[in-house]
């Protein structure tokens, strides 16, 4: 079941972990009545930060104002707590399998700095795109497909299709 | 001066519809006071047990945080005062039935004693250190000779300080959430746990860390036990107490309390500490930080939620 990678660290078989992730999604639907998400937590954090700096700007903006209300704090959101749980769980799993180390994983041909800059730019693009498309791989694609939503399948194809097409241009970051 | 006739507390927007007097300064102070009590308690305990060689961080180095924590905490308390220039009047009287009087006098004693304790270890930290005056040198010799007596004084004062941070709230008999005698021991145990967390984080010695970690696990267990009984007590009491407990069992503090205090502040670090004791590699900063943040949020929630609970409707 376990794959030994080059570094000698034990990873779970990807098919098994995919199946487990599906069960997590099922449990989330059962417990919370909604699916998983990741970009939503980042969005809530951004909204909170913008609101803290300038409440008037946040409430006049067409985008931010949707998430601000007087009786609900934008951070008081299931996805924020879910992401905190993901962090804690990832930490536990890393500890159990002896992978807790401070390191930047990158191709030997690039520096950590390049890798971090590339990751940041990719993250910015993905964050922007996920808000245009109303959700990311978890919230729109994974959770959407789980309830057989057409938008979920389209999102999944769009995200991974674009990923395959774009990969060729940034291949030097990895190979 | 404007004269006001107060015929009912219900005319006071700081009291009615709910108490709205204590803000961030109080929980910050309660946290720092508990942290200081926790660090000093174990420093004094291990000195008395004669283990200052085996537990150097606990006895010598972690207490360096205490004067800082107490000063910042007292600074926060000072900011909270309405009539700041009258603070010294606390020291014109001793009232055994007032927790604030107990706290004021305990702090008056423990703050200078903690500075003396730390100062007596400065030369061990910085070997070339010289005191500026000869009398300071001879005073240092005196302190080192009577360190054991000082440790006993700090041990007792640290327990009083730790309990008092809880009693300060529980003496408010008009606030059902606070008015329970469990709060004193609960705040003491939580303070001891945060003190251990800070010490563990500073310690480089694996044996010292694992000893502290084991004590911390017991403290976390006691804390969970006390919290369970806090709620069982509320739920077995009258309507106002049940309503106070409901704030945490479905009400507005449910998520913040159970997620940040219980899961991330107690259970998560406990699991990490168990893993560490079983030989897994865990960076100590993570459980320590989780306990410290959990302890801080616990005090914010207790102060905030307690002010909302009331008898009169």
- Name the closest residue on chain B to residue A82, using Cα atoms: B259
Residues of chain B contacting A, Cβ within 8 Å: 255, 259, 263-264, 268, 271-272, 275, 280-283, 286
Assess A96–B contact: CB distance below 8 Å, yes or no: yes
Assess A92–B contact: CB distance below 8 Å, yes or no: yes
Model confidence pLDDT, tens digit, residues B287-297: 999 999 999 99
Q: Is B20 a residue whose pLDDT tops 90? A: no
List domains and CATH numbers for chain B.
19-308 (1.20.1630.10)
Contact B310, B240 (CB under 8 A): yes
Q: Is A12 left (phi over 0), alpha (psi -120 to 50) or beta?
A: beta
Q: Is A8 a residue whose pLDDT tops 50? A: no
Lowest mean pLDDT among A31-35, A125-129, B7-11: B7-11
pLDDT at res. A5: 44
Q: Collect all residues of chain A within an 8 Å Cβ-Cβ radius of residue B255.
A: 76, 81
Distance CA B38, CA B190 (A): 8
Q: What is the ipTM of this complex?
A: 0.74
Model confidence pLDDT, tens digit, residues B225-261: 999 999 999 999 999 999 999 999 998 899 899 999 9
Q: Is A9 a residue whose pLDDT tops 70? A: no
What does the mean pLDDT of chain B come to? 91
Q: Collect all residues of chain A within an 8 Å Cβ-Cβ radius of residue B272.
A: 91-92, 95
Lowest mean pLDDT among A74-83, A166-175, B2-11, B215-224: B2-11
Q: Is A7 a residue whose pLDDT tops 60? A: no
Percentage above 70 pLDDT, chain A: 95
Assess A63–B contact: CB distance below 8 Å, yes or no: no
pLDDT at res. B12: 78
Contact B143, B120 (CB under 8 A): yes
Distance CA A144, CA A137 (A): 9
Task: Find which of A77, A81, A90 to mutate to test the B interface (most B CBs within 10 Å of its CB).
Answer: A81
Mean pLDDT of A57-86: 85
Q: Collect all residues of chain A within an 8 Å Cβ-Cβ radius of residue B263.
A: 88
Give bridge partners of residue A10 from the DSSP assignment.
A4
- Name the closest residue on chain A to residue B270, using Cα atoms: A92
Model confidence pLDDT, tens digit, residues B59-100: 999 999 999 999 999 999 899 888 888 888 888 888 888 888
**Burial tier of B278 (Cβ tally within 10 Å: 0-12, 13-18, 19+):** exposed
Percentage above 70 pLDDT, chain B: 100
pLDDT at res. B313: 63
Q: What are phi and psi of B28, to 5 degrees?
A: -60, -45
pLDDT at res. A66: 85
Do B281 and A98 lie within an 8 Å CB cutoff? yes
Q: Is A116 left (phi over 0), alpha (psi -120 to 50) or beta?
A: alpha
Distance from CA of A146 to the nearest CA of B (A): 27
Assess A100–B contact: CB distance below 8 Å, yes or no: yes
Contact B251, B265 (CB under 8 A): no
Cβ partners under 8 Å of residue B80, min gap 6: B22, B23, B25, B26, B29
Q: Is A70 a residue whose pLDDT tops 80? A: no
Nearest residue to A138 via CA among A11, A31, A34, A47: A34
Query: Three-state DSSP class for A62?
Result: coil
**Burial tier of B241 (Cβ tally within 10 Å: 0-12, 13-18, 19+):** buried
User: For chain A, what are the domain ranges?
Assistant: 1-102, 106-175
Question: Which of B264, B268, B282 is facing A100, going by the closest CB pair?
Answer: B282
Distance from CA of B10 to the nearest CA of A (A): 25
What does the mean pLDDT of chain A come to? 87
| Residue contacts between A and B (CB atoms, under 8 Å) | 26
Assess A88–B contact: CB distance below 8 Å, yes or no: yes
Alpha helices in A61-111 (DSSP H): 78-96
Helix B147-170 and helix B285-308: axis angle, to 10°? 40
pLDDT at res. B128: 85
Do B281 and A81 lie within an 8 Å CB cutoff? no
| B45: Cα separation from own chain's centroid | 17
Question: Which of B259, B268, B282 is facing A81, going by the closest CB pair?
Answer: B259
Helix B99-119 and helix B134-145: axis angle, to 10°? 110
Give bridge partners of residue A11 from the DSSP assignment.
A3
Task: Find which of A76, A78, A92 to mutate to test the B interface (most B CBs within 10 Å of its CB).
Answer: A92
């Amino acid at each position: 079941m376990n794959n030994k990678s080059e570094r000698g660290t034990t990873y779970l078989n990807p098919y098994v972990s995919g199946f487990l992730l599906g069960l997590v999604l099922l449990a989330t639907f059962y417990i919370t009545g909604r699916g998983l998400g990741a970009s939503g937590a980042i969005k809530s954090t951004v909204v909170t930060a913008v609101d803290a700096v300038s409440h008037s700007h946040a409430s006049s903006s067409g985008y931010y104002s949707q998430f601000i209300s007087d009786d609900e704090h934008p951070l008081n959101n299931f996805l924020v707590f879910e992401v905190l749980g993901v962090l804690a769980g990832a930490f536990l799993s890393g500890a159990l399998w002896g992978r807790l180390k401070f390191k930047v994983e990158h191709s030997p041909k690039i520096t950590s700095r390049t890798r971090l800059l590339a990751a940041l730019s990719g993250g910015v693009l993905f964050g922007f795109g996920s808000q245009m498309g109303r959700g990311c791989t978890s919230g729109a694609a994974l959770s959407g497909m789980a309830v057989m939503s057409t938008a979920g399948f389209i999102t999944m194809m769009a995200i991974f299709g674009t990923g395959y097409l774009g990969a060729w241009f940034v291949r030097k970051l990895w190979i | 001066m404007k004269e006001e006739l107060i015929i009912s507390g219900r005319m006071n927007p700081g009291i009615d519809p709910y108490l709205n007097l204590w803000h961030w300064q109080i929980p910050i102070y309660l946290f720092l006071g508990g942290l200081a009590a926790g660090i000093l308690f174990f420093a004094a305990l291990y000195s008395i047990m004669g283990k200052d060689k085996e537990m150097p961080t606990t006895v010598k180095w972690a207490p360096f945080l205490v004067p800082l924590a107490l000063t910042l905490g007292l600074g926060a308390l000072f900011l909270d005062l309405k009539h700041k220039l009258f603070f010294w009047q606390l020291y014109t009287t001793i009232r055994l039935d007032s927790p604030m009087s107990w706290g004021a006098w305990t702090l008056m004693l423990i703050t200078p004693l903690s500075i003396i304790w730390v100062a007596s270890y400065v030369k061990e930290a910085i070997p070339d250190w010289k005191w500026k005056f000869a009398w300071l040198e001879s005073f240092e010799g005196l302190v080192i000779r009577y360190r054991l007596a000082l440790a006993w004084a700090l041990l007792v004062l640290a327990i009083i300080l730790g309990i008092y941070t809880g009693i300060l709230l529980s003496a408010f008999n008009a606030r059902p959430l606070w008015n329970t005698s469990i709060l004193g021991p609960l705040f003491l145990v939580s303070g001891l746990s945060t003190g251990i967390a800070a010490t563990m984080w500073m310690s480089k010695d694996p044996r010292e860390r694992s000893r502290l970690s084991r004590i911390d696990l017991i403290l976390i267990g006691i804390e969970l036990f006390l919290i369970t009984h806090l709620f069982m007590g509320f739920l077995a009491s009258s309507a106002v107490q049940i309503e106070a407990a409901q704030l945490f069992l479905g009400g507005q503090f449910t998520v913040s309390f159970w997620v940040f205090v219980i899961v991330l502040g107690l259970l998560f670090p406990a699991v990490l500490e168990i893993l560490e004791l079983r030989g897994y590699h865990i960076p100590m900063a993570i459980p320590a930080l989780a306990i410290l943040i959990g302890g801080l949020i616990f005090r914010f929630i207790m102060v905030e939620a307690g002010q909302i609970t009331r008898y009169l409707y």
